[in-house]
Structure 1
Amino acid sequence: MRYLSRALLGLAVAGMFSTGAKAQEVVGNNQGDFNEFMDRSGNMYRAASGRPGPEYWQNETDYDIDVTLNDEDHTIQGKITLTYTNNSPHELDFIWMHLEQNRFTEDSRGTLTTPIQGNRYNGDIDGGYTISNLEAKVKRSSSSDYLINDTRMQVFFEDPIPANGGKATVSMNFEYKIPVDGMDRMGRLDVEDGTIYALAQWFPKAAVYDDVEGWNIEPYLGAGEFYLDYGDYDFKVTAPASHIVVASGELQNPRQVLSSTVRDRMDRAKESDSTVYLIKPDEVNDMSLRAKQEGTLTWHFKMENTRDVAFGSSKAFIWDAAKIDLPSGKKAMAQSAYPKESDGQGAWSRSTEYSKASVEHYSEKWFEYPYPVAVNVAADIGGMEYPGLNFCGWKSEGASLWGVTDHEFGHNWFPMIVGTNERRYAWMDEGFNTFINYYSTLDFNDGEYPARLNKTRNMTGWFTSEQREGIDTYPDVSNLRNLGMIAYYKPAIGLLLLREYILGEERFDNAFKSYIETWAYKHPQPADFFNHMENVSGENLSWFFKKWFYGTGNIDLGLDGVRQYEGNYIISLTNKGEIPMPVKMEITYEDGSSENVTLPVEIWQRGDSWNYLHRTDKSIENVELDPNKILPDVSSGNDAWPNSFYKD
């Protein structure tokens, strides 16, 4: 073969310099659309196959927390002990921690970058942390040195944390005023029977040190959410004895905080497919259902292998629950806590039913739910997720309550199980979650509520807007009017196109399930997702990932005409958009029969037009592109021959 190759090369060179050689016109092509657009090569930490490399590592953060909720001055006081395990190959002289309550100060970066007219991420400005008694220990060495800058704290060690498994502990006392307006993520709400406290971002927590960015220390501004390591949490919440406390994780001391009546009801709920009241609507102010009537109670929770925890506390809670059946045979418990203002069969009385259905669906279809509880808490928050616990709008009902409950529980898969960096890549949690929400909504009660993600052509007004932005725009930078599309709907539509138009359900599901299982409790980057989907599905998808996730171009496939040719037909196609796509078309014949034809995306590598020879002895009556209208094609007028029409 070597000799042959050299011979052919010699002929080619001779032809180039031959004066008698006929000049050849170089024809342009679209190969650039199909080339790689980012460095997706592998290394020792992240393989080119989209899997963790042989030396992949991530650090571990285990927390022991003890806090007291004061409902008179609306404060949290507590102590935290963080055990930090440095699995990286580097010694660490310091760690960075997030102080997200510092967002609620007058001079925080988040406050100063909020428009005068305000937005969803408004927050109180009279809060912020008071930190005291900090001690950072590595073996026998101890340090109290730290530096606070906005929502970040740098904690220094006298001796570095050793690499490859070295440990340190950081302990401190902390205190802050609980905001009323917590940027639609946490805060407090006054109702007739008391105050609902929605506690999230409620303790100092370690930032992520990874193999891609080193320390991930973007400040907490507003739209950008969270990026955290995994670990075990042991936490205690001391609250007024009149309160019910619900939280991420499993309650460790029910006998110390619940009456025998409530414990009996909880035991029934653990075996019940239908909702069981733990605290009935007419029992909200019945203090005999608490373990004691005065003073305080300390509620003790544990949660393993999680990236965060949250809790809700109030004396106004109606509380109900039901069991969750998981594919392995394990059980979990769905719970809902809400005030009487949210009660009603059309509203929060169905919350636990929704929660159970949502978690069971995702567990069966994608990956089993790993946590002992799934808690839905009514609060003055549109919808916000934490591992095992949501805060959802207390006025939501019907389809709205199903939608927000299902969406927030879906976040347990993205980013709680698959631990992406929300502050940088909102689309990897919001978009992926919006995608799986579509199928859960179709499944719930055989479609009780509408699922509209596949109505992609209803969104072409945004796709052609001059104000549109790319999916890769950082959430804190994007125009908030675009955030719903670039973080939620456009990436979700991208996955829909992959599943229902490009790859098909079987290949997509194999790849997507593998991605979830492979990166469960780890930190994938965008390139890891792209590489994994390609390798498992067996398809080069660079042309799609490049244009859809990292651009603002659009899809516009068209029919230029149909003509007879030697007893068959030539169907002339055109790609007038920036994004190449496979061509699916339905051909209908004069006798009323029809057939579907699919042409591969590679037809567009050679140019923007293509002639397809369709062999048939029947007479074609019409041809329609994308008959199921999956594509958000921005110009539907050229989708059919001989007449343009649109089928809903």
Structure 2
Amino acid sequence: MKHYTKVLTLFIVGLLVSFQSVAQEANKDNQALFGDFMDHNGNEYRTASGNPGPQYWQNEADYRIEATINEKENTLTGKETLTYTNNSPEPLDFIWMYVEQNRFEKNSRGNLTTPIGGNRYNGDVDGGYTITNLKAKVKKGVSSRHIITDTRMQVFFDEPIPANGGKGTVSMDFTYKIPVKGMDRMGRLDTENGTIYAMAQWYPRAAVFDDINGWNIEPYLGAGEFYLDYGDYDYYITAPYNHIVVGSGELQNPKEVLSTTMQDRMQKASKSNDRVYIVKPEEVNDNSIRAKKEGTLTWHFKMFNTRDVAFASSKAFIWDAAKINLPSGKAAMAQSVYPIESDGNDAWGRSTEYTKHSIENYSNMWLEYPYPTAVNVAAEINGMEYPGVSFCHWKSKGADLWGVTDHEFGHNWFPMIVGSNERRYPWMDEGFNTFINYYSSNQFNNGEYPDSLNETRNLVRRYLDPNMEGIDTYPDMANARNLAMTAYYKPATGLLLLREYILGHERFDNAFKSYIKAWAYKHPQPKDFFNHMNNVAGENLWWFWKGWFYGTGTIDISIDNVVNYQGNYIIVLSNKGDIPMPVVMKILYNDNTTETVKLPVEIWQRGNVWNYYLETDKTVKNVELDPEKIVPDVNFSNDSWPSQLYKN
């Protein structure tokens, strides 16, 4: 009976292997999974290797702004001069500008497209710009002609701005009521000791004219953030004498706005790895340490090669700072401002520590931080980033404050340094940033606040949701419950898969760092990123870009069987999902030794079944796919095989 059973088993196994081998060879329907899905050819502006081309260009927007906060009326009044450099190959008869305070009008497109139940991007509806004295000039002729359409303004010139370096200027006066609720991005907060003004999108800004879309004129609706050109900023903020003003860039006149006591403390902080108070909690209402005792003070800031600036102003601020150590040996300064209600070592008392670590970590791991300061501002904002300035919620504590601080300062790399189009492709800033946050969190203070991005299977149910949308969904069109997945977690998981599972650390890091360096202070498109990663990593990843970043396909790699064949084993694998993946298998033998087998993604190029021939003189006890559980495989039940066939 035993001999008959063995012969029958071998006969059945032979038929099984023979059939599956034929199926493996004949099932050739997977070419579409591996083929190109977008034009990734190069041109003179953007190369096929994913670099800026020899004739790459982008325009420049330089600003000089003077603005005044009226604390009684809660208004901002200012005047600005924009110097616009047209580096494009065509003359420009007009430019488009963003006037995003108009989002806070009752009939704004953003307000009219907000669901009745509201969302995160609710805002006041009694604001909006009043713009006067507009003058647009190229050489001699001066034009005042402009058209305001919702959150955009078209400014016409009497003569075109010449191509290839021509310049034009636009000057204007503006004023508006500062909203309380500024769509969770800016606004004001009343505290025990005064109002905190968190000021962003606070001046009319030039839109981007690029080689992909021409003018990028999508309205400011809510979820879609910003796309801006780089330039130099020279700006002045006039506020009541007892206010502290912090902003993007470097303070130019500390001797005029800081008392000698505050200057001394600032100097000490610039050399200290531990926080130093500039304004102590007990000094918030102590006018004796202010530079003036009445009237107003004008704070002067400059920032170079940046796409934007933001600032905050309040008499309620506690202010502390510490030194940021950069890899080159240079130093920057981490600063925090927050009200007395936010103080405490379990809360904003650690904000500067968090800020310092974030900047140092990202500088060491990816690219050195280019700005002189990094300022964290406590406000009625859940989390929003601008160059060198972050607004985080004033009630955040512990892990929550760490998480939002680390995330918002991570945005200095994406999209502040690598200037992607957030309004169209939020995954290129939110997703990339969520990815780098994972490593920063796990390195902070020996893992005090660990990040769970690597626990990819926690989100499997979302991938299976029939209402799930693709990463490529425009943010303002995405279902509100999907935005966190499409913009943050799914693209971040994609990069995690590349680094931890597909490419490995060295190849991924080489490619990702190269991408950051190549596109620093420039405007990459999705295909620039894809091309760059393919070329530097030396891997055709179009199957991955197509499967993971476009559409809603899922991953399901299966172990269908393990059969004893002629003294060895055949492991029968199948791809039951929509996205192919390389295979990593951990094989456990009866003597409790293990072996790891790695199979390339190309096993799926000819079909959805693959037979792996395992040569061994041991008995297989168990086979497990993806032993580190990095891949968000949607079907856990077919990821392992408990052996029932034993060698004789």
Aligned to 2:217: 217
| Contact 2:109/2:150 (8 A) holds in 1 | yes
Aligned to 2:585: 585
2:134 equivalent to 1:127: no
2:390 equivalent to 1:390: yes
Aligned to 1:19: none
| Contact 2:27/2:607 (8 A) holds in 1 | no
Aligned to 1:6: none
2:285 equivalent to 1:300: no
| Contact 2:562/2:643 (8 A) holds in 1 | no
Aligned to 2:363: 363
SS in structure 1 of the partner of residue 228 of structure 2: coil
Aligned to 1:22: none
Aligned to 2:600: 600
Aligned to 1:59: 59
How far apart are the structure 2 equivalents of 1:219 and 1:606?
A: 45
2:123 equivalent to 1:103: no
Aligned to 2:92: 92
2:460 equivalent to 1:457: no
Aligned to 1:185: 185
2:415 equivalent to 1:415: yes
Aligned to 2:230: 230
Question: Following TM superposition, by how much is the alpha carbon of 1:467 offset from its aligned partner in structure 2, in angstroms?
Answer: 1.1
Residue-by-residue CA offset, 1:602-645 (whole Å, 9 max, x unaligned): 0001110100001111111100000000000000100001179x
How far apart are the structure 1 equivalents of 2:489 and 2:308?
A: 26
2:466 equivalent to 1:435: no
How far apart are the structure 1 equivalents of 2:478 and 2:269?
A: 44
SS in structure 2 of the partner of residue 631 of structure 1: coil
SS in structure 1 of the partner of residue 265 of structure 2: helix
2:431 equivalent to 1:447: no
How far apart are the structure 2 equivalents of 1:97 and 1:289?
A: 41
How far apart are the structure 2 equivalents of 1:396 and 1:485?
A: 23
Question: Following TM superposition, by how much is the alpha carbon of 1:125 offset from its aligned partner in structure 2, in angstroms?
Answer: 0.4
Aligned to 1:5: none
How far apart are the structure 2 equivalents of 1:91 and 1:459?
A: 50
Q: CA RMSD in A?
A: 0.9
2:559 equivalent to 1:522: no
Deviates more, 1:375-384 or 1:288-297: 288-297
Aligned to 1:47: 47
SS in structure 2 of the partner of residue 237 of structure 1: strand
SS in structure 2 of the partner of residue 480 of structure 1: coil
Residue-by-residue CA offset, 1:414-444 (whole Å, 9 max, x unaligned): 0000000000000000000000000000110
Spell out the pairing of 1:242-641 with structure 2 (5 A cutoff).
Answer: 242-641=242-641
SS in structure 2 of the partner of residue 63 of structure 1: strand
Question: Following TM superposition, by how much is the alpha carbon of 1:565 offset from its aligned partner in structure 2, in angstroms?
Answer: 1.4
How far apart are the structure 2 equivalents of 1:313 and 1:507?
A: 45
Question: Following TM superposition, by how much is the alpha carbon of 1:27 offset from its aligned partner in structure 2, in angstroms?
Answer: 5.2
Question: Following TM superposition, by how much is the alpha carbon of 1:29 offset from its aligned partner in structure 2, in angstroms?
Answer: 2.7
Aligned to 1:70: 70
SS in structure 2 of the partner of residue 404 of structure 1: helix
Q: What amino acid maps onto 1:370 in structure 2? A: P
How far apart are the structure 2 equivalents of 1:450 and 1:91?
A: 52
Q: Which runs of 5+ in 1 are unaligned?
A: 1-24
SS in structure 2 of the partner of residue 102 of structure 1: helix
The change in CA–CA distance for 1:385 and 1:27 in structure 2 (over 3 A counts) is closer
TM-score by length of 1: 0.95
How far apart are the structure 2 equivalents of 1:628 and 1:114?
A: 42
The change in CA–CA distance for 1:26 and 1:404 in structure 2 (over 3 A counts) is closer
Q: Which runs of 5+ in 2 are unaligned?
A: 1-24
Residue-by-residue CA offset, 1:310-336 (whole Å, 9 max, x unaligned): 000000000000010000111100000
Aligned to 1:144: 144
Q: What amino acid maps onto 2:589 in structure 1? A: Y
Question: Following TM superposition, by how much is the alpha carbon of 1:497 offset from its aligned partner in structure 2, in angstroms?
Answer: 0.2
Displaced runs of 4+ in structure 1, greater than 2 A? 25-29
How far apart are the structure 2 equivalents of 1:633 and 1:455?
A: 11
Q: What amino acid maps onto 1:495 in structure 2? A: L
Residue-by-residue CA offset, 1:444-499 (whole Å, 9 max, x unaligned): 01100121000110100101001100000000000010000100000000000000
| Contact 2:621/2:643 (8 A) holds in 1 | no
Aligned to 2:19: none
Q: What amino acid maps onto 1:434 in structure 2? A: T
2:82 equivalent to 1:82: yes
How far apart are the structure 2 equivalents of 1:616 and 1:53?
A: 52
Identity among equivalent positions (%) equals: 71
How far apart are the structure 2 equivalents of 1:26 and 1:392?
A: 57
How far apart are the structure 2 equivalents of 1:50 and 1:565?
A: 47
Question: Following TM superposition, by how much is the alpha carbon of 1:141 offset from its aligned partner in structure 2, in angstroms?
Answer: 1.7
Question: Following TM superposition, by how much is the alpha carbon of 1:268 offset from its aligned partner in structure 2, in angstroms?
Answer: 0.3
SS in structure 2 of the partner of residue 536 of structure 1: helix
Aligned to 1:117: 117
SS in structure 1 of the partner of residue 482 of structure 2: helix
Q: How many residues end up aligned between the 2 structures?
A: 620
Aligned to 2:38: 38
Q: What amino acid maps onto 2:396 in structure 1? A: S
How far apart are the structure 1 equivalents of 2:321 and 2:176?
A: 32
Question: Following TM superposition, by how much is the alpha carbon of 1:575 offset from its aligned partner in structure 2, in angstroms?
Answer: 0.5
The change in CA–CA distance for 1:236 and 1:641 in structure 2 (over 3 A counts) is same
Question: Following TM superposition, by how much is the alpha carbon of 1:567 offset from its aligned partner in structure 2, in angstroms?
Answer: 1.6
TM-score by length of 2: 0.95
| Contact 2:620/2:643 (8 A) holds in 1 | no
How far apart are the structure 1 equivalents of 2:149 and 2:204?
A: 13
Question: Following TM superposition, by how much is the alpha carbon of 1:28 offset from its aligned partner in structure 2, in angstroms?
Answer: 3.0
Residue-by-residue CA offset, 1:489-528 (whole Å, 9 max, x unaligned): 0000000000000000100000000000000000000000
Question: Following TM superposition, by how much is the alpha carbon of 1:26 offset from its aligned partner in structure 2, in angstroms?
Answer: 7.1
Aligned to 1:171: 171
How far apart are the structure 2 equivalents of 1:345 and 1:643?
A: 54
Question: Following TM superposition, by how much is the alpha carbon of 1:290 offset from its aligned partner in structure 2, in angstroms?
Answer: 1.2
Q: What amino acid maps onto 2:212 in structure 1? A: V
